[in-house]
């Protein structure tokens, strides 16, 4: 063998990359994108080559544009790459524009999945709906293993909300797409036991199923000082919005018909003259109009409606709530999985849950006693719970919140859950190589 031939033979094989597909990604504040970023960071930290394919447009506000190309440093000389696609999001206000944006994104993703070399595996979530169809086609044509993280279930959500009938062509197409990529997925991640049951109705995927919740968001650069509790008297979010000295009941996140707030709003109106109390709604979504209309219709001065806060400010905004509201629509258990409950628990805040039982949230509250439960439509029950919250001392609320924080520390931290997911992910991608 020649010297040149020997050099070629001794050259290590090129590293095979892991592709991650998702419609949202930081700095966009949408929760799904933040969780996907945690996975990308951990894979890169372990030495895997990671390429994220996402949208260049803001999820809530499509006028916001993010850099098309970005390299994210994760420390120790390691990083991952982000490639953002244009014409991949046109907002959620008009259904035809949303459908066009999703279709455009899917076609661009499919081209990338089929043309990118040295792929060890493709990881995708349920944002946008049927993101797995492109991954499934790549698996079918290239033999690349794929892994699915079910953050919510479509068409199940549309069916439960009455927006589709089971016999409609759209529902049939969506269901066929689901079954197509589920059959081909080497790993399927369900967020709770209710979601697992719904997925298993589509086939026996139990040997490829991992059931685990999402983790509370933590900053990758958080110092011990940054993770310490925020003093309510000096919290800049409380100071800026006149919340110092008030009992704050907060809803933070996506406002959606799947997470109804009507029962809370109707009860809150009866406390409109109680200056001890503030209701704070942070976030966006189609359900935000209902909050704003309630404030305007009743001239409420103790209710605030605020937009999504920057990721860098989440620690302060979330800490500003004395009690956090989590809502889950009727018959939505296993269809969606409001993960804001874990962030509130991690902060040591009691939970005011509005929704059906059993659900993953009622399971949590029953296990650690860190909150209250009210059924949708029970306005009198909600008034009674709000009165109870007002009557509790800060110490009593802190004691309830501490039970939830303890449950997070014992088994629901980012370190525990993220490592569990990434361990299973790399097992599903046997050709993935580390640098």
Q: What band does 89 get if pLDDT is binned at 50, 70 and 90?
A: low
Q: For 54-69, what is each residue's pLDDT tens digit?
A: 999 887 777 889 999 9
Average pLDDT value over all residues in the chain: 91
Task: Give the residue carrying structure tokens 């909300």.
Answer: 161
Q: Which CATH number fits domain 224-411: 3.30.950.10, 3.40.50.2000, 3.40.47.10, 3.40.50.2300?
A: 3.40.50.2000
Q: Are 343 and 95 in contact (CB under 8 A)?
A: no
Percent of the chain residues topping a pLDDT of 70: 91
Which of 19-23, 185-189, 217-221, 372-376 is least confident?
A: 217-221
**pLDDT(6) > 90:** no
| Burial class of 94 by CB neighbour count within 10 A (0 to 12, 13 to 18, 19+) | exposed
Q: What is the pTM of this model?
A: 0.89
Q: Under a CB-based contact definition with an 8 Å cutoff, are residues 146 and 122 in contact?
A: yes
The whole-number pLDDT of residue 87 equals 77
pLDDT digits (tens, 9 = 90+) for 15-62: 799 999 998 899 988 888 999 999 999 999 999 999 999 999 887 777
Say if CB 145 and CB 121 are below 8 A apart.
Answer: yes
Question: How far is it, in rounded angstroms, from Cα 58 to Cα 244?
Answer: 32
Quick one: pLDDT band at residue 5, thresholds 50, 70, 90?
very low
Q: What is the pLDDT of residue 314?
A: 85
- Indicate the fold that domain 13-215+414-428 takes in CATH: Rossmann fold (3.40.50)
- Helix residue ranges, H only, 204-320: 224-227, 236-240, 262-269, 288-298, 314-319
Domain ranges of the chain: 13-215+414-428, 224-411
The string of pLDDT tens digits covering residues 242-251 is 999 999 999 9
């Amino acid at each position: 063998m020649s010297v040149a031939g020997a050099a070629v033979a001794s050259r290590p094989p090129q590293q095979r990359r892991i592709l991650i597909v998702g419609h949202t990604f930081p700095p966009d504040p949408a929760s799904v994108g933040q969780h996907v970023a945690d996975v990308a960071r951990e894979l890169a930290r372990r030495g895997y080559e990671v390429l994220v394919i996402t949208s260049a447009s803001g999820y809530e506000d499509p006028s916001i544009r993010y850099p098309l190309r970005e390299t994210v440093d994760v420390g120790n000389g390691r990083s991952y790459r982000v490639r953002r696609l244009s014409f991949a999001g046109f907002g959620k206000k008009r259904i035809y524009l949303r459908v066009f944006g999703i279709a455009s994104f899917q076609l661009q993703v499919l081209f990338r999945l089929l043309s990118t070399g040295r792929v060890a595996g493709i990881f995708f979530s349920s944002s946008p709906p049927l993101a797995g169809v492109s991954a499934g086609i790549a698996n079918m044509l290239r033999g690349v293993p794929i892994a699915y993280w079910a953050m919510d279930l479509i068409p199940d959500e549309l069916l439960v909300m009455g927006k589709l009938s089971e016999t409609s062509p759209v529902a049939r197409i969506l269901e066929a797409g689901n079954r197509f990529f589920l059959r081909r997925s080497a790993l399927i991640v369900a967020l709770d036991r209710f979601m697992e049951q719904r997925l298993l109705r589509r086939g026996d995927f139990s040997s490829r199923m991992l059931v685990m919740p999402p983790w509370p968001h933590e900053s990758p650069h958080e110092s011990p000082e940054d993770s310490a509790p925020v003093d309510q008297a000096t919290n800049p979010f409380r100071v800026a919005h006149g919340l110092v000295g008030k009992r704050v009941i907060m809803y933070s996140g996506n406002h959606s018909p799947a997470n109804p707030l009507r029962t809370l709003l109707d009860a809150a109106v009866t406390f409109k003259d109680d200056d001890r109390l503030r209701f704070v709604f942070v976030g966006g979504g189609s359900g935000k109009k209902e909050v704003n209309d309630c404030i305007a219709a009743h001239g409420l001065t103790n209710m605030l409606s605020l937009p999504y806060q920057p990721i860098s400010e989440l620690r302060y905004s979330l800490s500003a709530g004395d009690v956090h509201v989590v809502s889950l629509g009727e018959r939505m258990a296993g269809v969606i999985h409001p993960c804001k409950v874990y962030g509130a628990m991690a902060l040591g805040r009691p939970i005011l849950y509005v929704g059906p039982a059993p659900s993953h949230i009622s399971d949590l509250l029953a296990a650690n006693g860190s909150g209250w439960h009210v059924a949708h439509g029970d306005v009198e029950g909600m008034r009674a719970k709000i009165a109870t919250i007002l009557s509790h001392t800060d110490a009593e609320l802190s004691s309830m919140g501490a039970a939830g924080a303890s449950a997070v520390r014992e088994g629901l931290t980012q370190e525990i859950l993220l490592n569990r997911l990434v361990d299973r992910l790399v097992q599903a991608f046997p050709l993935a190589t580390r640098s």
